[in-house]
C-alpha cells in the first residue's frame, strides 16, 4: 500500500485541513465584482506552515471558475517571465482552443521563449499583455500567483503592482496571490513603495487546530486504506504544524507497515515520534537557524534551557535577561529580531515561546556535548 502522506514542501496534501477563512474570502472575491479588495492576497508564515499549498488551493478556486492562472516564482524576474513567456504562451494556447471558457490551464513561468524585445517600459508591456489576455478570456479573469515573495526585487514588485492597479482601475477581472516568509514580508511591507502589498489582504498562517490536524491525519490514512486510531495523539504531537502533521502521519504509516500492524495505533506512533523530531530538525530547524547571528543564538539557547523548566514552553523575558546577565532593554532588539525571523513569538506580556514545535529541543540537543570514543 502506498503511503498517502506527503511530507514534502510544496506537495498538496491528500486531505486538506483548515484555512477555511482564506479559501472562502478568496472564492467570494473571485465571484464578486472587480476591485474587490480580497482579490489581492498576501500570505505569510514560517517554513512548513503551508503557504505554497495554500496558493495552489487558491489557484484551484480560480480555475474552477474558469479563470486562467499565471504562476511566477520570485526566484526569477517575475515581470520578464510573465511578459516574455507565460503570457504569450497562455495567449497562444487560448488561440488554439475554441472553447468559450477555458478551465484548468496553468502556465508554469519557466523556460523563457525568446521574443523580440520591445522598446516599451516593462510594466507597460505587462499591462498591455494582460489586457490582451483578459480580452480573450471572455469574462473570466486572470490570477497571478507569486511564491517566495520575500525574494522579489522591489523593482520587479513595482512592475507587477503598476500593472495590477492599472487593470483594477479599469474594472478588469484580475487577482494576485502572494506568499512568503514572515521576516521577508515584514521587510517588504516597510519599503516606501509597498502600498500595493499593504493594501493586499494579509493572512499570517499559524498552526492548524488540533481538531483539523486530527481529521487530516485520520482522513489521509483512511484514503490510503488504514485506520488511524492514534490520530488524536498524533495531532497533539504535531502541534498542528502542517509539515509535522504530514511527517508524523508518513512515519507512523511506515512504522505500521514495517511492524506488520493493520492500523496506525500507539505502537506505530511511538516508533514514529522520535524519527519525526529528528527529520524536522534537519528539514526545518537547521536551515532556519543557519544564519542566526551569535547574539540571537545566545538568546535562543538561554530560552531553550529555561523552557525546560516551564510546563508550557512559555518563557519570561525577564528570566532570559537574568540568565544572560544582560538588561532587558538591551535584549529587546534581539528579541524583536528573533520574532521577525519567525523563530520565537510573543506569548503574552513579557513572555515568548518558540515559533515552531520542538525548536527548543533541537537547540538544546545541539548544545549537548558529543560523545567521543
Ligand atoms: N492545510 C493543510 N492540510 C494538510 N496538510 C498541509 C496543509 N498545509 C500544508 N500542509 C502540508 O505541510 C507541508 C508544507 O506545506 P508547504 O505549503 O510546502 O509549506 P510552506 O510553503 O509554508 O513552506 C506539505 O507537506 C503540505 O502537504
Ligand atoms: Mg513554500
159-201 residue pLDDT tens: 888 889 999 999 999 999 999 988 788 888 887 778 888 889 9
pLDDT of residue 102: 45
pLDDT of residue 186: 82
- Residue 53 near residue 12 (C-beta atoms within 8 A): yes
pLDDT of residue 360: 95
Atom from ligand 1 closest to the CA of residue 19: 1
Atom from ligand 1 closest to the CA of residue 179: 21
CA–CA separation, 39 vs 22, rounded Å? Answer: 11
Cβ atoms < 10 Å from Cβ of 337:
17
pLDDT of residue 120: 60
How far CA 165 is from CA of 103, 123, 194, in Å, comes to 25, 11, 13
291 secondary structure, DSSP code = T
Residue whose grid cell is 487560448: 94
Ligand 1 centre to CA of 200 (Å) is 22
Mutate to test the pocket of ligand 1, among 49, 53, 206 (most ligand atoms within 8 A of CB): 53
Mutate to test the pocket of ligand 1, among 8, 17, 45, 50 (most ligand atoms within 8 A of CB): 50
Q: HSE-up of 128 (CA within 13 Å, CB side)?
A: 9
pLDDT digit string, tens, across residues 280-310 = 999 889 998 999 999 999 999 999 999 999 9
pLDDT digit string, tens, across residues 217-254 = 999 999 999 999 999 999 999 999 999 999 999 999 99
Q: Is the pLDDT of residue 109 over 50?
A: no
CA–CA separation, 340 vs 72, rounded Å? Answer: 25
Q: Is the pLDDT of residue 264 over 90?
A: yes
149 secondary structure, DSSP code = G
142 Cα distance to chain centroid: 21
- Report, as an integer, the average pLDDT of 113-129: 63
Q: HSE-up of 358 (CA within 13 Å, CB side)?
A: 24
Q: Is the pLDDT of residue 336 over 70?
A: yes
CA–CA separation, 12 vs 17, rounded Å? Answer: 11
CA–CA separation, 244 vs 268, rounded Å? Answer: 16
CA–CA separation, 255 vs 295, rounded Å? Answer: 40
Cβ atoms < 10 Å from Cβ of 311:
6
Ligand 1 centre to CA of 318 (Å) is 35
φ/ψ of residue 146, rounded to 5: -130, 115
Residue 193: all three cell numbers together: 513603495
Q: Is the pLDDT of residue 69 over 80?
A: yes
CA–CA separation, 94 vs 18, rounded Å? Answer: 34
Ligand 2 centre to CA of 295 (Å) is 28
Q: Is the pLDDT of residue 321 over 90?
A: yes
Ligand 2 centre to CA of 357 (Å) is 18
Long-range contacts (CB closer than 8 Å, 24 or more residues apart) made by 332-340 = 334/295, 334/296, 334/299, 335/299, 337/296, 338/296, 338/299, 338/300, 340/182, 340/183, 340/186
Considering all CA atoms of the chain, what is the largest pairwise distance in Å, rounded to the nearest integer?
A: 73
pLDDT of residue 118: 46
- Residue 281 near residue 356 (C-beta atoms within 8 A): no
Determine which residue's CA is closest to atom 27 belonging to ligand 1. 13
Amino acid at each position: 500500500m502506498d503511503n498517502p502522506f506527503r511530507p514534502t514542501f510544496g506537495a498538496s496534501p491528500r486531505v486538506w485541513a483548515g484555512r477555511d477563512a482564506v479559501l472562502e474570502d478568496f472564492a467570494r472575491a473571485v465571484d464578486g465584482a472587480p476591485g474587490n479588495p480580497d482579490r489581492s492576497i498576501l500570505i505569510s508564515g514560517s517554513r512548513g506552515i503551508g503557504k505554497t499549498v495554500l496558493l495552489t488551493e487558491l489557484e484551484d478556486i480560480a480555475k474552477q471558475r474558469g479563470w486562467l492562472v499565471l504562476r511566477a516564482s520570485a526566484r526569477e524576474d517575475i515581470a520578464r517571465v510573465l511578459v516574455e513567456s507565460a503570457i504569450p504562451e497562455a495567449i497562444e494556447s487560448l488561440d488554439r482552443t475554441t472553447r468559450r471558457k477555458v478551465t484548468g490551464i496553468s502556465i508554469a513561468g519557466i523556460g523563457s521563449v525568446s521574443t523580440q524585445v520591445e522598446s516599451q517600459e516593462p510594466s507597460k508591456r505587462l499591462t498591455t499583455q494582460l489586457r490582451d489576455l483578459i480580452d480573450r478570456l471572455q469574462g473570466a479573469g486572470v490570477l497571478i500567483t507569486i511564491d517566495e515573495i520575500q525574494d522579489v526585487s522591489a523593482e520587479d514588485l513595482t512592475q507587477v503592482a503598476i500593472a495590477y492597479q492599472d487593470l483594477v482601475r479599469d474594472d478588469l477581472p484580475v487577482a494576485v496571490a502572494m506568499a512568503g516568509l514572515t521576516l521577508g514580508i515584514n521587510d517588504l511591507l516597510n519599503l516606501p513603495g509597498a502600498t500595493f502589498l499593504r493594501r493586499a489582504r494579509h493572512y499570517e498562517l499559524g498552526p492548524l487546530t488540533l481538531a483539523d490536524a486530527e481529521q487530516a491525519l485520520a482522513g489521509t490514512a483512511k484514503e490510503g486504506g488504514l485506520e488511524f486510531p492514534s490520530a488524536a495523539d498524533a495531532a497533539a504531537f504535531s502541534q498542528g504544524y502542517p509539515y509535522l502533521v504530514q511527517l508524523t502521519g508518513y512515519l507512523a504509516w511506515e512504522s505500521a507497515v514495517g511492524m506488520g500492524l493493520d492500523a496506525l495505533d500507539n505502537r506505530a506512533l511511538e516508533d514514529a515520534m522520535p524519527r519525526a523530531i529528528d527529520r524536522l530538525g534537519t528539514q526545518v530547524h537547521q536551515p532556519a537557524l543557519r544564519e542566526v547571528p551569535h547574539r540571537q543564538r545566545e538568546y535562543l539557547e538561554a530560552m531553550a534551557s529555561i523552557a525546560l523548566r516551564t510546563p508550557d514552553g512559555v518563557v519570561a523575558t525577564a528570566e532570559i535577561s537574568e540568565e544572560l546577565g544582560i538588561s532587558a532593554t538591551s535584549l529587546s532588539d534581539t528579541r524583536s529580531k528573533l520574532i521577525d525571523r519567525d523563530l520565537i513569538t510573543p506569548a503574552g506580556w513579557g513572555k515568548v515561546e518558540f515559533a515552531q514545535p520542538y525548536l527548543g529541543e533541537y537547540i538544546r540537543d545541539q548544545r549537548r556535548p558529543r560523545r567521543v570514543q
